[in-house]
Amino acid sequence: MTINPLLFSGIIVFLVAFIIILLYIINNLLKKAELYEDIIEDQTKYLQNISNAIGQGKQHLQQLDQKGVFQSDDEVGEFFNQMKYVQDELDKYMLPENYGKEEIQS
């Protein structure tokens, strides 16, 4: 049984072209995946910074509240109570401590 050389070379050319197209597609998908990973890392850092700022604000308000500097019977005290309310609302958006950290699976 003989193989037609024209058919054989046609099949080879088709397979090589198919492999090149697949490599191009895989390369583009890999670049996109790496880009999305970088974006996720940046957004995670941003969210962690916001959460840290919320935590620092909470600590500062707690320190002021413990000192009893502001009384609730005057305007400043009422403003302080409103600030505590705003801080309580912000506390709902704090991230867990391990947010964005990779978990090592055994």
pLDDT, tens digit, 9 for 90 and up, residues 2-39: 878 899 999 999 999 999 999 999 999 999 999 999 99
Q: What are the tens digits of pLDDT across the range 45-62?
A: 999 999 999 989 989 888
User: Residues near 93 by Cβ (< 8 Å), separated by ≥ 6?
Assistant: 50, 51, 54
Q: What are the tens digits of pLDDT across the range 75-98?
A: 888 888 888 899 888 888 888 877
Helices (H), the chain: 5-67, 75-91
Integer-rounded Cα Rg, in Å, for the chain is 30
The whole model's pTM is what?
Answer: 0.67
The region that residue 100 occupies, defined by phi over 0 for left and psi between -120 and 50 for alpha, beta otherwise, is left
